Structure 1
């Protein structure tokens, strides 16, 4: 990581916002908090990871607002990782949030270390996604050829077969990429 990490915590409970900000604060970490989903996309811009509560209306336990917000965040920035949290959840809800694009699921109350670790992992996923999104086809091809050659211990015939290429085609690509 270079520079400062930026996390966004979204929850309608002011005490939860304070507790999460405290748990996540540290050197090289900036924590922004918001008590509502208003302007969600703008709030999340430039973040490395988001901690998102699943229920925002008093008495609601269906996770509807949180799942809608997860979809909005995914549409605004597909690389951004979201950790979801709730006090009312089980395995089925956790699985559903992961299927819809969440990277982790935390139950309230949490252990501060576990929350910080989940957010660090989520930020690492965001980093990896953003790095891959910046790759062009040439870089992807070069990396695939290098991995195939490594896996085949330099055997051109086996590497070509693994890549679905002929030996001459692989030789041309190796030359083009300076491998």
Structure 2
């Protein structure tokens, strides 16, 4: 089955070009202009293409690296491909150390981008199928995040969906840092 992909970049032209390139190899391609709030939606995607800089003049990639960390906290199996215009060897190495599936420089070759995202999607599927990087705490956290997302942050409805009381859900949210 073709993957569901997310592209995150603050440049609308990059979003449009990447979405057009990846649309032929995906079931659905969503876009976002900011990494804010992505962790709550991580479970909805098979792979994420994430820019590393979101402020004018920024070149250090810290926003992208921090977003990568948050996405992996939310879904350890999710593969993230980082991209930037200002890439260096040190930044690519740091991205891979933090768990990025791949690192793409802008401008990209369309075939290489499609291949990178296909490989990332396959890796996510493999991880999810084998249960790699998942333990009971991770599964509980993901279930809570998903319920809160489905019910748009309404704790009462999320608690009912999870079979918990509101106080029990609040305790578990606190334990997971939510």
TM-score, normalisation: structure 1: 0.71
Does the aligned pair in 1 maintain the 2:52–2:82 contact within 8 Å? yes
Structure 1: stretches of 5+ with no match in the other structure: 135-179
Q: Does 1:41 align with 2:39?
A: yes
- Larger RCO (alpha carbons 8 Å, 6+ apart): 2
Partner deviation per Cα, 1:112-166 (whole Å, 9 max, x = no partner): 11000000000010011111107xxxxxxxxxxxxxxxxxxxxxxxxxxxxxxxx
Partner residue in 1 for 2:48 = 50
1:3-42 correspondence runs (5 A): 4-26=2-24, 28-42=26-40
Partner residue in 2 for 1:71 = 69
Task: Determine helix, strand or coil for the equivalent of 1:117.
Answer: helix
RMSD: 1.3
Does the aligned pair in 2 maintain the 1:8–1:44 contact within 8 Å? no
Does the aligned pair in 2 maintain the 1:5–1:29 contact within 8 Å? yes
Aligned-partner Cα distance in 1 for 2:48–2:19: 12
Aligned residues: 132
Match of 2:88 among 87, 90, 94: 90
Partner deviation per Cα, 1:2-27 (whole Å, 9 max, x = no partner): 3x410000000000000000110116
Aligned-partner Cα distance in 1 for 2:25–2:104: 23
Aligned-partner Cα distance in 2 for 1:88–1:28: 27
Partner residue in 2 for 1:176 = none
Structure 2: stretches of 5+ with no match in the other structure: 133-178
Structure 1 residue ranges, 4+ long, deviating more than 6 angstroms after superposition = none
Partner residue in 2 for 1:100 = 98
Does the aligned pair in 2 maintain the 1:84–1:105 contact within 8 Å? yes
Larger radius of gyration: 1
